[in-house]
Each structure stands twice: as C-alpha cells, then as structure tokens.
Structure 1
Amino acid sequence: MLLHSIRVRDLAGLGDVCIEGLEPGLTVLVGDNEAGKSTILTALRAALFHRHGSGSRFVKNLAPYGRQVRPEIDLEFELGQTRYRLEKRFLQKPEARLVWPGGELIGDAVEDRLAELFGFSPYSGRGEFDHERHQGAFGLLWVEQGRAPEGIDIGVGRDAVLSSLEAEVGQILGGERGRGLLGAAKALRDRHFTDGGQLRRNGELRAAEDELAALDADIAEQKAAKATLDSRIDRLADRRARLSALRRDHVIEAAERDLAKAESADRAREDARRDLTEVEQALALAAAAVEKAAADLKRRQELAEALAEAERAAAMARETSAEAAEAAATLEAGREALRTARETAEREMRRLEQHQRAQEGQRERARLQERLARLRATVEAAREAAGRAAEARRLLASALDEKGLRAILSAEAERREAAARRDGAAPSVIFHPEPGRTVRAGAAGMVETARPLRVARDTLFHLDGFGRVEIRPDTGSQEREAAYETAARALRDRLSAAGLDSVDAAHEARARASEWEAGLREASARVKALAPAGVEALASEISALEQALAAIPSSAEGPAAADVWAELERARAGFTAADAALQRRTSDIQLARAEASHAAERHEGAAAEAARLADLLARSEAQNASAALRERLAAAEVSRQAQAVLAETRRAAYQMLDPEVISLELRRARGALANLRRDVAQVENEVRELETELRITGAQGLGEAIERMEGERSSLAERVARLRLEADAARLLYETLGRAEARLREKWFAPIRAEVAPYLRLVHPEAEIAFDEETLRVTGVTRRGVPEEFHRLSHGAREQVAVVTRLALAQVLRKGGHPATVILDDALVNTDEARLARMHLVLQKAAEHLQIIVLTCRERDFRGLGAPLIRL
C-alpha cells in the first residue's frame, strides 16, 4: 500500500487539513502538541476500518466537542497496481464511496471491499475496537503515541505474516492443510483438556467422570441409608424390651410411695423447727430488755460524772479570765511613750528624704541633657540617610529592572536562534572571479569573494564581464528570513521601550541600576538602624525630653550628698526601730485583750454547761430514780435466763429428728420419681419415632434401588474408559504434531530474523531478538550472549526493538504481497541522541523498500533525517 494524500475536514480538533504529495520512502509530518498529528492517524483508522454508518463511541468522538457537524475524510492510495480514492462521511448523513479506474462502489459495499483489500475482520461497532483484530496487519504496523514500549502483538495480522513466510520458506506440516490438521488435532484435544493439560471442566470426559463419581456417591449414600435402617430396627426392639421391664416392675408406683413417706417425715421436721424458732425469738426479746435496762442505768451514771467535770472546768475558767485582764492593763500603760518616740523619728526621716530628692533631680537633669544631645545628632544623621535613599529611588524609577533585562535578553536569544535557523538552512555561495573582476549584490554593493556567503532570500548577483546570477532559496528560507526579521524587530522594540540602543547598553544600564539598588538598600538600612520607628518618632522624643528638663529646678540647697545619705540612713534605722517597738507593744496588747476575752467566754460556756447538766440530772431522777433502774435490770436478767433454758430444750428435741437426713431423703425421692417418669416418657417417644421412621423408610425399597444403581454404574464406567482412551489418543496426536512443528519452526523464523538483523545491527550490535513461537510476540533480546526479558528493558530500548521488529515484519508482509505502510506516531520519544541518530539510519534503510510516515512534535530530532518534512 502507498498513501498519496489525506484530507480531513471537521474531524475532532482539526478544521480543514490536506496532506498531499506523500511519496514512497520516508516522510515526516511535524506539528506542535495539540496540532492534530495523532488525529491524522485516527482519520486513517476511521476511513479504512470503521463503517461509515457506525454509531460506536469511536465514531461519535470524531466530531469536535460541542458541535453538530459531519466529519469528512478523503484518502488517495495505491494498492498493487491500482490507485484508489476513498471518501467517507460520518454521523450526519453518513456516506462511503470508493473509486478506481474502471470501477466505483458506494455504501456498505465499500466496507466489504476494504475488508477484502486489507485483510481485516470488520468491526461491528459493539464492544471495544481491537487494534490488532480489526485492523489486520495494520494493527501491527501503525503505532499509536505511547504504545511502542508495549511491544508487539500481531493479532489477526498473524495470518498475513504466516502466508508471507510460507511463500518464502515453504509450508510447515503441509501448509494450510497441515495447519488444518494441527488445528483439528487441537480441537480434538481441546474437547477434553485445557492448554495446561488439565481436564476441561465442560468437556465430555470430565462430565462422564463427574457423573460416575456422583453415581458412586449415590450408591454409597443408599448403602449407608440401608445400614442405618437395619441399626434402627435393632434399636426399636431394645427400646420395647426396656419399656416392658419398667412397666412389669412397677418402678414408678414404688418411687411414689417412697416420696410420700419422705414428705411425712419432712412435715414433722418443719413443726419442730417452728417451735424452736418461737422460743429463740422470745429469748432474743428478753436479752434486748436486759440490754436496754443496763444502758439506761449506765447513761444515768455518766450524766452525774459529766456534771461534776463541768463544775470543775467553770471554776478554772474564772481564774484564767481574771489573770488575762490584769496582763492587758499592764501592757496598755507603756504604749504611749513608744508612740511619741516613733513620731519624732518619722519627722527627721521626712526632712532628710526631701533633701535627697532635690539632689536626685539635679542628676536626672544632667542625664536628660546628655540624652537630648545624642538624639539631636541621631536625627541629623537619619535625615541625611533618608535623603540619599530618596535620591536612589528617584533614579531607580526610570532605570532598567531585572525583568526588563530578561525580556531584552530573551528577545536577543530568539533573534540569534532565528538567525541561526536562517543561516543554517540558507545555501552557501563562494565567488572566485578572475583577477580584476568583481561581484555585486544589487543595492548591497560589492560582495567579498573567496569567502562563503549565506543567501537567505532571493538575491540577484551582478558578475562583472559575465552577466547576472539569481539565487532563489527554497520557500522555507523566506519563512525563516521573515521569522528573523520578526525577532529582530521585537528586539529593537524592547530596546526602544527601555530607551536603549543595544544589548550591551542594556547590560550597562542594569549594572547602574544595581549600584543604585545597593545604595538604596544601604541608606534604608542606616535609616532603619538610626530610627527604627521613624525620624518623626525621634523628634517627638526630643520634644518630650525638653519638656522634662523644663520641669526640673535648676538648683537645690541643702547639705552635701554624702552627709544626706548617711543621716537619712540613720534616721530611717531609728524610725524603723521605734515603729517596730510600737508595733510589738500593740500586738502584745491585742493578744492580751484577745486572751482575756477568750477566757471570759470559756468561763461563761463552762458555767452554762454545768447548769444544763444539773437541770438534766434533776429531771431524770424525777422521772426514774436510780434505784428503780437497778431493780428493772435485775428482773429482766431473770426472764432472759428462763427463756434460755426453754430454748435449749427445744433445740435438743429438733436435733433428735436429724433434719439433714430428712431433707436429703426428700430430695432423693423427688429426684428418683422425676427421673423414672422422664426415662419412661423418653423410651415411649423413641419407640413411636422409630416405628414411624421405619414405616416410611421400609417403603422405599433400598435394596432394589442399590441393585439398579450398580447396574447403571457398570455401563457408565465402560463409557468413561472409552472416552479416556479417546482423550489420551487426541492429546498424543496433538503433542506429536506440535513437536514436529517445533522442529521446523526455527527454519520458519529465519526470514524474520534475516530482516531484523541488518536493522538491529545498526542500533544494538551483536544482539538477537527472541520470539514466542505461537504468538510471534517479541519476548526478549540476547546481547553478547546474555538473555534479557523484553519487559525488563528500558523504555528507550523497548521502543527501538519494537520499531525495528515492525519494520522487519513489514518487509516480510511486502514480499508476501500484503499492504505494508508503516506509521510511527512519536514512537521514539524515550531514545537518547546517539541511538536516535542510529535509528535515523534504520529508517533510511527501511525506506528503500517501504513507505514510512513519522508523526512528531519534535522537529529538531528529525531535521537531520534527510526526509521531506510536512508541517501541519
């Protein structure tokens, strides 16, 4: 296949794009990111492999986002010796038209003809579009952006590769017939086994074996059921015999008689216990009466003792109160003299403190005057620094800043790059005139000879004595010259806006601005150091100091400073001592007065308590005399002793009945009767359940069912043996044919390796590629005898191996008469510069026989490829 032109209209992000002049060999389509390079590949896929009337997600995504338009794609391509024109319209009024010399198809017939021409399975529009299955060999040869490192999956293109290889090296196992035989053997094996050699779950042999196993399980289950039935018949006979024995021995009636006897003994025990409880309660009441009488007599004695103690305490408190009042009066008599001494010492101390404050005022005045002088000098220096900073700001207001310099340098760099592109692509001319001859270039005047001259635009040279020579560079040169003029004009505009005439002047202006910035920083730092809060704050502080100086008197009279300090210290010491003496005397008086008051209060309280206790004792005696209380205690003790004797008699009678034995006998009789009744009921229930179950199970005919199932098992076992023999034979046949194919496959792969070798040698010398024998997928690379798995190679190495292998397979397909155009969409983005240069050689070599189209956004990487560049 040879592509000649591609035209796209209203497809995805593209408007109207036409790419013409595609020739055999190598072509590079260049475009910026988002310019639509990958969309071109999408357009090719849509035109060749998607039905025009499809409503698949892929086709719906062909329309630009948010627009109701009809994407259009026109292709011109050559296949064999026939040139075709394909037109497709999608979504809105879909159409398809295929035209070639002497023929034309429209509608669905176009899709069928394309599938026939390119050997792919038509895409129904349901499910995901499979690049390998629905594109035939082009799923192998058209590489989407970012998919090169994934390796190669030939997919449906495998048939085209196989037929191409067989055309070159001969058929393996009889060619198509041999592959059919191998496929038939595989189909027979696959009826019973998986690729891993395990029995297939849904296979006939596995189903028969499962059925045999299930039948064996059923037979075992039926035999187990029969054994269970026999054991239950024996159990029923045993339970009936046991029930007859229980009824014959009248065990329940005997247990009921034992229980009645035990209950009668328990009632006699309960009557004796109630009699004992009543006597014990009477004894407890008598003991409580004794305790109450004893407590009443004890409280009367304690009250008399408390009254005697209260009277003694009142007498002692009266004596203490009198002594405290006398001591307070004595201390009060000497306090007045101490108060007079303190007042005299205080007057002297105040007089000396006044002299001291006057002297301190003179010292403060001197300190303020010194501080005022320093502040005035600081203000002057700060104002000078602020003036320098203001001048620096004024100069910087119109100076060139760093951003402006960067803009100028960027414009200069763009101008130099544009000049390099212009001069690098422009042809070089060297004039060697005869002696005395000259060369002129239009209005530019004389041309220097014997030196290379770059010609970037159409130029007319006048050759003295010969004529004129007109040199016209390619159309790209004019574009490069225009780009250079644009860059140069942008640089001039940048310089003019800054008031400069050259880049050197910009550097000098920026250097001066840097000096002004340094001066500004220095002056600002000095202002901040001298006046952190500002010059006005310093001025305010000076004004405050001047006011403070005016408030301090200019002189003060009095004794010398040293005398004042000494006398003041002595006066303060005298005052402190007098004050301390007065405070101590005052404190002592307060303590004495407080003690006298407390003593009087204690006397009053003790006298009141003694009076209260005397009154309480008199009233208690009036109600119950002490003699009466003693008589009541004696009578209560006699009653308690009588109840104690009676209680002991009743307790002995109760113990003679042996109450614990009676309780145990009652519990035993009740338990025995309950257990017997429960056992009889349980045996009766078990007999009923066994009889019912045996009636149901006995009707199933388990013996006859087991005999019938064993007959079925014999037939099924014979069928399983027959299927096992058939499965083993199929597996043996397939494995035998597979080993034969494997022995010949090495020879069969020789053409692929032969095509890969010259390309691979240019990129990875001494390397070999390993293929999977079934899928033809690249599995690894052997370099210098060391094997490496494909997925463990670097991204760059995987890209290179994948591209080289695709080119080799394209050569195989081409020789087999199949379409073999290769399209690479940014397929070498991870390749370093050295390997990229080698890959350029690979592409040039492959382009001798193949049409290769490279889509890229990195024009710089392919300038040296030596191939036509078409810009989108």
Structure 2
Amino acid sequence: MKLHRLILRNYRGIAFRDIEFPDHGVVVVSGANEIGKSSMIEALDLLLRAKDRSTKKEVKQVKPTHVDEGAEITAIISTGPYRFEYYKRFHKRPETRLTVSTPAREQLTGDEAHDRVEGILAETVDTELWQAQRVLQSASTASVDLSSCDALARALDVAAGQASTLSGAEPLLIDRIESEFRQYFTATGRPSGQWATAIARLRDATQRVEDCRAAVDEVDDAVLRHAALADGLEQLTSRRATAAARRDAAMQAAAVVARLEERLSAARALAEPAERTREAAEAAVNERRRLRADLTERSATIESLDVSARAAAEELSDAEEAAASAAAVAETARVAVEGCQLRVDTARVTGERIARRAEARRVRARLVKVDAVSAELATVTDELATITLTDAVLVDLERAALAVEKAAAKAELASARIELAVPRQLEVLVDGRPVRLLKGESWSHQVTTAAAVELPGMLTVRVVPGTPAADSQDVLDRARRVLTLLLDEAGAADLDAARALDVRRRELVASRERLRATLDAHLGDESLETLRARAAALDASLADEADDDIDAAAAAAALEAALQAQRSARAAHESASTAATAAASRAAAEASAAAVLQARLATARDEVAAATERLARQRDSISDDDLAITAEAEAERAKGVLAQVLAIEAELAAAAPAAVATELREATRHAAELDDRHVEVSGQLREVAAQLQVYGTEGRKGRLDAAQTEYEHAAAEHDRMRRRAGAVHLLQSVMTRHREESRLRYVDPFRAEVERLGRIVFGDDFAVEIDGDLRILNRTLDGRTVPFDSLSGGAKEQLGIVARLASAALVAKDDGVPVVIDDALGFSDCNRLARMGEVFDAVGGDGQVIVLTCSPERYAGIVGAKRLELTA
C-alpha cells in the first residue's frame, strides 16, 4: 500500500491542503504546532473506516468551526494490483466517490464505494501492520507489537527458509481447527456447546439419582426411628415413677428445715434489741470518759496559746518599725530616679535633632541622583518612541527579503533571455530605451514581461514570455511590494538599515531597563513623591530649630552618661523598694500570726466553757457510777439471748439445709425433665407414624429406578463427547505449539534486521532479545543488558523506530505499508539524531516513510529525504 496524494478541505481548522507524496523513500513534512500534521493521519483513517453519514464522536470532532461546510477528504492510493482515487464528504451533503483506475476502471458511489474499498483493503493490506507501522506523539516510547502482522510473518517465514514447505492452506487449516475447537470449548479452554451440554446432563442425572436414593433412604430411616422411639417411650414411663418417689422424700426433709428456720428467726428477733441496748449503754460510758479527758486537754492548750500570743505581739511591734524605715529609704531613691530621667530626656531630644539633620542631607542627595537618572531615562524613552520597528516586523522583513530572493531566482530561471550581437557599431531601442552596441560586442537581457527590440526604420522584434515567466514575475513584484510596505512600516530604507535600526532599538531598550533598575535602586520601597514629601517634612521640622553647631559625639556621650546615672538610680530604687516590700510583708505576716493566735485562744476558751457546761448537765441526769452499773447489766442480758440463738443455729446446721434444698431442686428438675421428654417422644412417635403413611403412597423406589436409567444414558453420551472434545483439544494444542515454535524460528531474521539497523545508531556491540510476539525485551550495549521498560525515553523511541523500519525492510514489496512517524525523536541528542538519519537512508529503498514534524532540523541527517513544508 502506498499513499500518493492527500487532499483535505474544511477539515478541523484546515481550510485546504493538497500534498503529493513520493512513491518511495523518506518524505519529511514539517510545519508549526497545531497546523494539522497529525490530522492528516486521522483524516486518512476516517476516509478508510467511517461512512460519510456516520454520527460517531470521532467524525463529529473534525467538523470545521470556521465555515458551515462538511469536511472533505480525498486520497489517491495504490495497493496490490489496485490504484484508486477515494473521496468522502462528511457532515453536510454526505457523499462518497470511488474511481479505480487499475487493473480495470471502476466508478462507484455511496455505500457501494465504501464496501468496495473495504474489500480491496481486506484483500491486499495487512491492517495490523498498517496500525503497527506508526509512531504517534502520544505513544512514541511504547513497545511496538508486531505479533499479529501476517505480512511480516510471511516475510519472516521466507527469511527463515520455511517458504518452500508451506502449502498455502495452513491458515485455513488452523481456522477450521479453531472452529471445531470452539464447538466444544470457549476461547479460554472452558467447556461449551455439545461438550458443556453433555457435562451438564451427566451432572443433573447424577444429582437426580442421589436425590431419589436419599428419598428411599429417608423411608428406611423413618422405620428405624419409629422402633427406637417406641422403646424409648416405655423406658421413660418406668423412670418417671422412680423420680416421683424421690421428689416426695425431698419435700418432707425440706418441711423439717423450714420449721427450724422459723424458730431461729424468732430468737434473732429478741437478740437484736438486746444487743443494741448493750451497745448504747457502753457508748454512754465511753462518751462520759471522753468528755473528762477532752476538758483536761483543752485547759492545757489555753495556757500554751496565751504564752504564744504575748510573744507574737512583741515581734509585730519590731516588724512595723523596720517597715517604716525601709519605706522612707525607697521614697528617697524614687526622687533620685525622676531627676535622672529628666537628664536622659534632654539628651535624647538633642540626639534626635542631630539625626534629623543627617537624614535630611541623605534624602536631598538621593533626590539629586533620582532627578539625574529620571532625566536620562526620559531622553532614552523619547528616542525609543521614534522607532516603530519591532521584533515581529523585523522577522517579517527577513521573511519578505528571503521571499524576494527566492522569487527573483525563480523568475530568472523561468524568464527568457534576449542576446544581441552586431558586426558593427549600432544603436537599437529596447522597450523605447536606447542601447548602443559596439562592434563585436554582445548584449543580453532577461525578459520576464513583454519586451520590444526595435531597429529604427528597419525592424521591430517583440518578445512575449510564457505563462510560467509571467507568473514568476508577478510573484516577484508582489514580494517586492510586501518588502517595501514592511520597510515603510519599519521606517528604514533597506534591510541593512532595518537591522542597524533594530540594533539601536535593542541598545535603547537595554539602557532603558538599566536606568529603570538604577532608579528603582535609588528609590527603594518609596515613590518619588513620597521621597520629596519626606525631604520637605524634614526641612520643615528643622526650620524652627536653632542652627547651632552641636557635636554629635558630645551629645552621644552626654546621653550615655545620663543613661548610666539613670540605671544606677533605678538599681538603688529597686533595691530599696524590694527591702521595703519585704519589711512590709514581714510586718503583715507577724500581724496575721498574732491575730490567728488571739482567735485560737478565744475559741479554745469558748470550747472549754461549753465542755464544762455539757459535762455538768450529763452528771445531773445520771452519775458516773450509776452509768457504769447500768452498762454491766445490759451486757449480761444480751449474752443470755445470744446463747439461745447459737443453740438453734447448731440444731439447724445438723439438719443440713443446703443439702436438703439441693436434693429438692434436683429431684423436682429431674421429674420435670422426664415429664417433658415423655411428652416430646410421644409427639415424635405420632409424627413418624404419619410420615410412614405418606411415604407409602409416593412410589419413591420407582423414581429411583428411572433416575438410574437416565444416568446410564447420560454417562454414555458424556463419554462419547469427552473422547471427541479431548481429540479436538489435543489437535488444537499441538497446532498451537507448532505455530509458536514457528514464530520462535522466524524471530531470528527479525532480530538480525533490528540489530543491523540498531548498530548504526548504538554501535557494533549492540544486541537485543526478542520474544515470540516480536517485542523487544531488553537491549545489550557495552556488555550491559537493560530491560526495555527501564531504558530512557530517547532509547525507547529510537528502538521503536528501528523495529518498524526493520519490519518495513523485511516485508515483501507487495505487502508493504507506509511507515508514519509523527513528531518523534524529541528525546534524542544531536549525535543519535544524525545516526538515526543514516538508518532512514539505509531503509529508504522501495518503501514509503512519512515523517511529520514541527522540528525539521531533527531529520536534517536524512540525506535522501524529500522535504515538504506546510503553511497555514
């Protein structure tokens, strides 16, 4: 397949483009970004795949936005024995036209044309190879997949020496084996079709037999369970009688224990009041003893507090005298600090006046510098404003001058030439202009427009140039007019003057930027108005002050002396204040301690009086001796009641109440369990009897026989299908293994071609490892092997292009497709770019390589390339 011509009209942002491609070799198509280089590949794919009425997203996206028209694509293609021109218009007024010129002329339209092109491509083009032979911007570093390319496989078979053994029917045989395989298995090897049906039938029959056998076994189990339940019910009846007798005996023992517990409760009811009375009498005796001891202790405390209070009063007097003395010293130090502060303020005012004068001098100096730089900047700006030349205009001038040179060269090549030679001196008129010719002299003139050579009174010769020369002259005239307009716009007489003017403009721009930077440095963070305002404010603040000559050093020394005196006075004041505060705190603490002692003394006296009064009242009620006799009597009565309680508790313990209660619970529980079990077994026996009556009417044994018969038929069918499916699976696996072995054999020719081309780029020690799917696994260079995925982006790009060019070199001439490289080698250095150019030259041959790029200098090393430049 070869692409001879591609015409786009109203495609995306492309108004019109017509490109003719050479039949073989490398063609480099260059143009700026977004000019529509990648769109040409997209347009060719849409032309070959999509119908003109398609509403797919990929078709809608190419609709032009600059005009209300449909996108149009035309291509002239040759493939196999066919050469045809194919046209489609999408979106508005859809149309498809096909003109086949060879081997027989055909003209078709609409869907017939679309279907015919698809048939031609299916017959003559390996579509997998067509897709694989592209290096796109979005995947330039991805590994190329050539495993599905039949054309490359055929070429590698020939290169591997297998072509003579092939009959041509191998793909058909493999397809038939695959078709037969799919009748029994899915693509992943799982059973399907008749084989899956036989497996399912056997599985269902097996399950049916198991279900019917389980139903028969269920009847047998029910018979055995009925007999077991009858025996169990008889045994439960005997055990219930024994359990009832045990429960009655336990209830009698529990009644005896209950009577003993009632007697014990009555005795304890009498013992508790007696014990509380005894405890109250004993507590009263103890309280009387405590009051006597407390009164004695509080009397001793009063004497101690009285001595401490007198000592605290003496210490308080001494502390108050010391606090008054310290306060007087602190007041004297404070007055000294205020005097020193006045001296410091006077010295600071003098220093600030000196600083303002120095600041005013610095600001005035900055203003002088700013004014000078501003004046120079204004001069440069004014001169720069008179220059209308810009970078864009200069670029346009350079292009226009180059266009004039190219047009002049083309006009000179296309124009006719008048040559005159005379044997004697003669004067002729050329377009009305006299030309004097000397004897033996020859004269020539290029003719791009109509010209007349006249020999007055004798002969007039008119020379009219052909269309190419006239067109070339028109192009030259237009180019000169454009150059003249641009020179007028730039304000220059010629290109050299414009270049000199641009140099001056750049110098002025650099000076302007330098002056602006200098001005910004002088101004800093302030504006010029702010700086002038600050200078005026400083001058105003100094206007009212006497212009006396103050020594800055003397003023600083005076300020330092004042500050030193102030620090000393403050230190003395702080020391005196601290001492005064400490003395006042001590006096306050002494006063607080004395007050606390006085309060404690008064409280103690009040408590002693209250305790004495309380003891007297209690003794009036009952004397100390009577209180002791009453306590002893209550203790004896409580002791007798407690002895009666202990005797009853011993009798109750001998009756073992816990064991009796446990036996009663166990006997009652056991009897209840046997009753419940008797009811449960009776119910189960009735249910099993009812089930046996139902089972007898279902005919479960007959269903089991029918299920076993179906199982035998299903097993026979399963065995037959298993043998057929196994044979097909074995045949498919053997053919697949042989096909994989064949692929491994033709890996060697492909690797040899890749290494041949790769050594041009990477050096003589370059080697690669390639798997059965013709993918590059790793690269070896300088004895180091690196996996493909770990290589740099540039190396991946270069290897991808080398692999595609190697496949293009191996594929037969009739099976070849264009290799399309869209703006690749962006990751390659200059050295690698030059070597890649040698690779392109090495595989140019009969193949077609189309390179699309916005950087044509990358491919400058391709010596034999044809170069086309796209313009908007």
State which of 627, 647, 662 in structure 1 corresponds to 2:645: 647
Give the structure 1 partner of residue 460 of structure 2: none
Opposite residue 49 of structure 1, the aligned amino acid is R
1:108-147 map, 5 Å: 108-119=111-122, 138-139=130-131, 145-146=137-138
Checking the alignment, whether the CA contact within 8 Å between 2:251 and 2:664 is kept in structure 1 is yes
Checking the alignment, whether the CA contact within 8 Å between 2:152 and 2:811 is kept in structure 1 is no
Alpha-carbon distance, 1:289 to partner: 1.0
The reply to whether residue 180 of structure 1 matches residue 172 of structure 2 is yes
CA distance in 2 between partners of 1:602 and 1:755 (Å): 117
Give the structure 2 partner of residue 726 of structure 1: 724
CA distance in 2 between partners of 1:5 and 1:676 (Å): 105
1:451-850 map, 5 Å: 465-468=441-444, 470=446, 608-624=606-622, 629-630=627-628, 632-692=630-690, 694=692, 707-731=705-729, 733=731, 794-805=795-806, 807-808=808-809, 811-813=812-814, 820=817, 823-826=820-823, 829-830=826-827, 832-834=829-831, 836-837=833-834, 840=837, 849-850=846-847
Checking the alignment, whether the CA contact within 8 Å between 2:779 and 2:786 is kept in structure 1 is yes
Q: Secondary structure at the match of 1:279?
A: helix
Deviations 1:793-842 (A, max 9, x none): 73223332343145336643258xxxx55554435555554554555566
Checking the alignment, whether the CA contact within 8 Å between 1:29 and 1:854 is kept in structure 2 is yes
Checking the alignment, whether the CA contact within 8 Å between 1:795 and 1:830 is kept in structure 2 is no
Opposite residue 111 of structure 2, the aligned amino acid is D
CA distance in 1 between partners of 2:589 and 2:750 (Å): 125
Alpha-carbon distance, 1:19 to partner: 0.4
CA distance in 2 between partners of 1:744 and 1:589 (Å): 113
State which of 266, 271, 284 in structure 2 corresponds to 1:278: 266
Checking the alignment, whether the CA contact within 8 Å between 1:140 and 1:154 is kept in structure 2 is yes
CA distance in 1 between partners of 2:91 and 2:316 (Å): 126
The reply to whether residue 18 of structure 1 matches residue 17 of structure 2 is yes
Cα distance change on mapping 1:220 and 1:651 into 2, 3 Å: same
Alpha-carbon distance, 1:30 to partner: 2.9
Checking the alignment, whether the CA contact within 8 Å between 1:752 and 1:812 is kept in structure 2 is no
1:184-195 map, 5 Å: 184-192=176-184
CA distance in 1 between partners of 2:296 and 2:78 (Å): 144
Aligned residues between the structures = 778
Checking the alignment, whether the CA contact within 8 Å between 1:824 and 1:854 is kept in structure 2 is yes
CA distance in 2 between partners of 1:20 and 1:592 (Å): 115
Alpha-carbon distance, 1:238 to partner: 3.2
Checking the alignment, whether the CA contact within 8 Å between 2:178 and 2:732 is kept in structure 1 is yes
Checking the alignment, whether the CA contact within 8 Å between 1:320 and 1:599 is kept in structure 2 is yes
Cα distance change on mapping 1:545 and 1:666 into 2, 3 Å: farther
Alpha-carbon distance, 1:588 to partner: 8.8
Alpha-carbon distance, 1:146 to partner: 4.1
Checking the alignment, whether the CA contact within 8 Å between 2:229 and 2:684 is kept in structure 1 is yes
Cα distance change on mapping 1:277 and 1:491 into 2, 3 Å: farther
Alpha-carbon distance, 1:266 to partner: 1.1
Give the structure 1 partner of residue 191 of structure 2: 201
Checking the alignment, whether the CA contact within 8 Å between 2:64 and 2:70 is kept in structure 1 is no
Cα distance change on mapping 1:259 and 1:417 into 2, 3 Å: farther
CA distance in 1 between partners of 2:846 and 2:347 (Å): 108
Cα distance change on mapping 1:602 and 1:29 into 2, 3 Å: closer
Checking the alignment, whether the CA contact within 8 Å between 2:136 and 2:822 is kept in structure 1 is yes
Stretches of structure 2 lacking an aligned partner (at least 5 in a row): 411-436, 449-468, 551-560
Give the structure 2 partner of residue 450 of structure 1: none
Opposite residue 467 of structure 1, the aligned amino acid is W
CA distance in 1 between partners of 2:32 and 2:325 (Å): 110
Q: Secondary structure at the match of 2:669?
A: helix
Q: Secondary structure at the match of 1:46?
A: helix
Give the structure 2 partner of residue 383 of structure 1: 364
Give the structure 1 partner of residue 43 of structure 2: 43
Checking the alignment, whether the CA contact within 8 Å between 1:799 and 1:831 is kept in structure 2 is no
Alpha-carbon distance, 1:112 to partner: 2.4
Checking the alignment, whether the CA contact within 8 Å between 1:418 and 1:483 is kept in structure 2 is no
Deviations 1:335-362 (A, max 9, x none): 99x999999x999x89x989x9999989
CA distance in 1 between partners of 2:345 and 2:697 (Å): 132
Checking the alignment, whether the CA contact within 8 Å between 2:75 and 2:85 is kept in structure 1 is yes
Checking the alignment, whether the CA contact within 8 Å between 1:823 and 1:853 is kept in structure 2 is yes
Checking the alignment, whether the CA contact within 8 Å between 2:295 and 2:611 is kept in structure 1 is yes
CA distance in 1 between partners of 2:48 and 2:132 (Å): 15
Q: Secondary structure at the match of 2:10?
A: strand
Checking the alignment, whether the CA contact within 8 Å between 1:31 and 1:871 is kept in structure 2 is yes
Checking the alignment, whether the CA contact within 8 Å between 2:11 and 2:63 is kept in structure 1 is yes
Deviations 1:651-673 (A, max 9, x none): 34433433233223323322331
Cα distance change on mapping 1:781 and 1:649 into 2, 3 Å: closer
Checking the alignment, whether the CA contact within 8 Å between 1:151 and 1:778 is kept in structure 2 is yes
Give the structure 2 partner of residue 125 of structure 1: none
State which of 220, 224, 236 in structure 2 corresponds to 1:246: 236
Alpha-carbon distance, 1:286 to partner: 0.7
Stretches of structure 1 lacking an aligned partner (at least 5 in a row): 122-131, 430-461, 551-560
Q: TM-score, normalised by structure 2?
A: 0.68
Cα distance change on mapping 1:372 and 1:853 into 2, 3 Å: closer
Checking the alignment, whether the CA contact within 8 Å between 2:747 and 2:771 is kept in structure 1 is no
Deviations 1:664-700 (A, max 9, x none): 3323322331333244344434444544555556666
Q: Secondary structure at the match of 2:97?
A: strand
CA distance in 2 between partners of 1:590 and 1:3 (Å): 113
Checking the alignment, whether the CA contact within 8 Å between 1:799 and 1:830 is kept in structure 2 is no
Give the structure 2 partner of residue 855 of structure 1: 852
Deviations 1:194-223 (A, max 9, x none): 778x5x321544553564456456556655
Checking the alignment, whether the CA contact within 8 Å between 1:96 and 1:110 is kept in structure 2 is yes
CA distance in 2 between partners of 1:482 and 1:836 (Å): 40
Opposite residue 89 of structure 1, the aligned amino acid is R
Opposite residue 42 of structure 1, the aligned amino acid is E
Alpha-carbon distance, 1:292 to partner: 1.5
Give % identity: 21
CA distance in 2 between partners of 1:605 and 1:358 (Å): 54
Deviations 1:478-536 (A, max 9, x none): 9999999899889878x99xx996576668768877986897688679999xx9x9767
Alpha-carbon distance, 1:273 to partner: 0.8
Structure 1 stretch 81-90 or stretch 276-285: which is displaced more?
81-90
CA distance in 2 between partners of 1:163 and 1:357 (Å): 111
Opposite residue 180 of structure 2, the aligned amino acid is L
Cα distance change on mapping 1:841 and 1:482 into 2, 3 Å: farther
Give the structure 2 partner of residue 299 of structure 1: 287
Checking the alignment, whether the CA contact within 8 Å between 1:382 and 1:527 is kept in structure 2 is no
CA distance in 1 between partners of 2:269 and 2:232 (Å): 55
Alpha-carbon distance, 1:175 to partner: 1.7
Checking the alignment, whether the CA contact within 8 Å between 1:800 and 1:828 is kept in structure 2 is no
Opposite residue 192 of structure 2, the aligned amino acid is N
Checking the alignment, whether the CA contact within 8 Å between 2:360 and 2:538 is kept in structure 1 is yes
Deviations 1:718-754 (A, max 9, x none): 4444334434444555566678778888999999899
Cα distance change on mapping 1:411 and 1:866 into 2, 3 Å: same
Q: Secondary structure at the match of 1:119?
A: helix
